[in-house]
Amino acid sequence: MRGAVIHAPGDIRFETLDDPKILHPTDAVIRTAVTCVCGSDLWPYRGAEPVGGPHPMGHEYVGFVEEVGSAVTSLTPGQFVVGSFATSDNTCANCRNGFQSNCLHREFMSTCQAEYVRIPHAQGTLVATEEVPEREMWPALLAVSDVMGTGWWAADAAEVGPGSTAVVVGDGAVGLCAVIAAKEKGAERIIVMSRHESRQRLARAFGATDIVAERGEEGIERIKELTGGIGAGSVLECVGTAEAMRQALHSARPGGSVGFVGVPHDVAVDGQELFFSHVGLRGGPAPVRRYLPDLIDRVLTRRIDPGRVFDLTLPLEQVAEGYRAMDERRAVKALLTP
């Protein structure tokens, strides 16, 4: 089969790789329906994370079950399945507590920009749809496997509820999905920090009520102006930079909550400042598996369409162009079709 391999920053190649095989009785192998490039794939691509030796890339996938190990009883070949970037047995104590992305047997997926993928702990990780969904639904279901699940977690962690005011920091795919999540959870006011016109339009289509283009101190000032001088009850940090985290913490009101779901890079939080702010802080890799049945249902009943975050579609063999387009901000998120 063929798949994407990173050799060095800026160097993604589409290569022939070994076909994935069942290695453990709990594995499955799926044939990829669609996959994509994640904002977090850009960290090694830009050299912000070490690449090491050449290795496959990708952690987002939906596909068709091709083969299952002897211990996998809930899945059969041909089924359409949605998973998560973190595998989970869905039976251990952390899974039962709803934190499947901290499963005691967790593995992070990293080979998904390929024609076939081995899925460890398939029975706990994968959710099969009742029927094969229409092709036009695939991008939205793919979004559910990562960015939509992560946006939902941001809203959960920031305690968005009916009537609440939410600030979303970040207008990438996760930030835009966080807008969908805040809306679905009943937020009355959704303020999105964005400087890109096309992303502002999509944020509004997803339910944003206000856009703030300012950043830094001016951005914080503007949020305060819009929230009665005190800040918002819920702030969804969807970037992972020091600037975004500072923006988020200073946009929350005393007693408010910040959900941070952007993978932190050089983020430090001052203990004294946090102590006196009365702001709650929770983040981490999204427990996507917890949300899958509900989010799949919202997509299939056409309540939400997070597939709209994909603004570039390429054949999988042009995966390198997907990275380039996202790196140069010509695309929010690139969809790849095998």
- What is the binding site for Zn ion (CB under 5 A)? 88-89, 92, 95, 103
Compare residues 24 and 303 and give the one whose CB is closer to Zn ion: 24
Shortest Cβ 120–Zn ion spacing (Å): 12
Q: Which is nearer to Zn ion, 123 or 277 (CB)?
A: 123
Q: Residue 19 CB, nearest distance to Zn ion (Å)?
A: 28
When the beta carbons of 4 and 103 are compared against Zn ion, the nearer one is 103
Q: Which is nearer to Zn ion, 88 or 194 (CB)?
A: 88
Between CA 134 and CA 141, with CA 137 as vertex, the angle to 5 degrees is 130
CB-nearer residue toward Zn ion: 88 or 113:
88
**Shortest spacing between CB 89 and Zn ion, in angstroms:** 4
- Shortest distance, position 119 Cβ to Zn ion, whole Å: 15
Closest distance of CB 125 from Zn ion, Å: 10
**Contact, 247 vs 263, CB < 8 A?**
no
Task: Output 89 or 237, the one with its CB closest to Zn ion.
Answer: 89
Q: How far is the CB of 96 from Zn ion (least distance, A)?
A: 8
